[in-house]
Amino acid sequence: MSVLGSAIQAGFDVEQVRAEFPVLRQKVHGKPLVYLDNAATSQKPLAVIDAIRRFYEVDCANIHRGVHELSQRSTAAYEQTRVKAKLFLNARTRNELIFVRGTTEGINLVASSWGRKCVKAGDEIVIGAMEHHSNIVPWQLLCEEKGARLRVIPMNDRGELLMEEYAKLLGPRTRMVAVGHVSNALGTISPVREIIEMAHKAGALTLIDGAQAAPHMKLDVQALDADFYAFSGHKVFGPTGIGILYGKSKLLNAMPPYQGGGDMIRTVTFEKTTYNDLPYKFEAGTPNIAGGIGLGAALDYVNRIGLDKIAAYEHELLLYGTEALSAIPGLRILGTAREKAAVLSFVMEGIHPHDIGTVLDRMGIAVRTGHHCAQPVMDWFGVPATTRASLAFYNTAAEIDALAAGIRKVKEMFS
């Protein structure tokens, strides 16, 4: 089936979808923009832009504390997003959803709050070989502070975690297993359900970095039995500076606050402070209200299109793109996992990724070049950087053709 055919079969008209993303209408360096940097951040539909605009134009007020109409409206709209996030992740209660700045802050919150309380010298934290730096460094900081040990599940040359090696790493000292659901550098979809089950059997907790999963697949934290799950609004077609940390309420209840300030308290005296209930205990200070409201609009938007449809269409695009790029002599795709999201990370013999990215940019094609905040992955493959095209449901087969033609041109220029 053609990619266009699969979009139609999936039940959405990709051109109609594109019309809802104003940024895609522009030309860059005189050429139609081909935006293939969705893993870094995705573009925003009008519904999200309008929701943010409406907040500032009509409702703008601080939340939770005000009795006046504007504050009530802002509070209701912001808190609605918590309910939408609950449905999006299939959490048990809205109290299990904490607003954070993004995935990075969600992971830091757990490493800091849970970690400080529960991790001791000699304990072990297990992470995967292809984690984003934000799922490495917070655990390293914790391990340094506590005298704990960071252990890494190795991967094979397709970019898949070695589950037998993972089983060997688990033991009585394992306190937490923190892995990415989908790798931003390689696109690998890791078997998180199995990973979680094995961790639980060993008596460890689990945190799943869902930054790259949330925009591409239907999520269900109860079916996964994840203890913590984090994602970023800006990768799921919402605004920057807002994200969600899910945590099982019994764990969140037992954890100390992450930051102190307004909203997270019940009573304050100079002698003693008592803390607010979940989820507010973890939400100190005035939050990103507009961001929260924008995120709600983004979740509505993806639900309207349907994550199953998105996943099916993007899979077709990935197959199409893999074939188109693999046909280019001298190009090697890094990350060929059997379960893979729509990421095409590649290197080309004799041409630095930054040169590829710069030349493609002159053709209006936006890709990312560099280590993608996953330096250990680059080290594993023995490359300093890759060029990465990461797709979203508004991308088309014609854009993949433009990318392939652009890469062939780069090759001609550098040969």
- Find the part of the chain contacting ligand PLP (CB under 6 A) among 112-120, 130-138, 154-162, 320-328: 130-138
Find the shortest distance in angstroms from Cβ 302 to ligand PLP.
16
Using the rule CB under 6 A, is 38 a contact of ligand PLP? no
Find the shortest distance in angstroms from Cβ 7 to ligand PLP.
25
**What is the Cα–Cα distance from 407 to 383, expressed in whole angstroms?**
19
**What is the Cα–Cα distance from 352 to 331, expressed in whole angstroms?**
12
Find the shortest distance in angstroms from Cβ 70 to ligand PLP.
29
Using the rule CB under 6 A, is 174 a contact of ligand PLP? no
- The phi, psi pair for 189, rounded to 5°, reads -95, 115
**What is the Cα–Cα distance from 243 to 41, expressed in whole angstroms?**
13
Q: Choose, by CB under 6 A, the member of 38, 43, 95, 134 that binds ligand PLP.
A: 134
C-alpha angle 302-308-313 in degrees, rounded to nearest 5 = 90
Q: Choose, by CB under 6 A, the member of 91, 127, 142, 211 that binds ligand PLP.
A: 211
**What is the Cα–Cα distance from 258 to 381, expressed in whole angstroms?**
37
String marking each residue 76-115 x if it binds ligand PLP according to CB under 6 A: --------------------------xxx-----------
Would residue 143 show up in a list of annotated catalytic residues for this protein?
no
Q: How many other C-beta atoms are found inside a 10 Å radius of the C-beta of residue 304?
A: 10
Q: Choose, by CB under 6 A, the member of 38, 95, 212, 386 that binds ligand PLP.
A: 212
- Residue 297 contacts residue 51 (beta carbons within 8 Å): yes
**What is the Cα–Cα distance from 286 to 267, expressed in whole angstroms?**
18
Q: Is the peptide bond before 138 cis (omega within 30 degrees of 0)?
A: no
Cα 277 to Cα 66, 93, 229, 273: the distances in Å are 19, 13, 20, 13
Using the rule CB under 6 A, is 276 a contact of ligand PLP? no
**What is the Cα–Cα distance from 184 to 155, expressed in whole angstroms?**
15
Q: Choose, by CB under 6 A, the member of 124, 209, 314, 316 that binds ligand PLP.
A: 209
> Is the CB of 95 or the CB of 184 nearer to ligand PLP?
184
**What is the Cα–Cα distance from 130 to 143, expressed in whole angstroms?**
19
- Residue 20 contacts residue 304 (beta carbons within 8 Å): no
Instruction: Write down the catalytic residue from 60, 118, 143, 373.
Output: 373
String marking each residue 373-412 x if it binds ligand PLP according to CB under 6 A: x---------------------------------------
Chain contacts with ligand PLP (rule: CB under 6 A): 39, 102-104, 132, 134-135, 180, 184, 209, 211-212, 232, 373
Residues annotated as part of the active site: 373
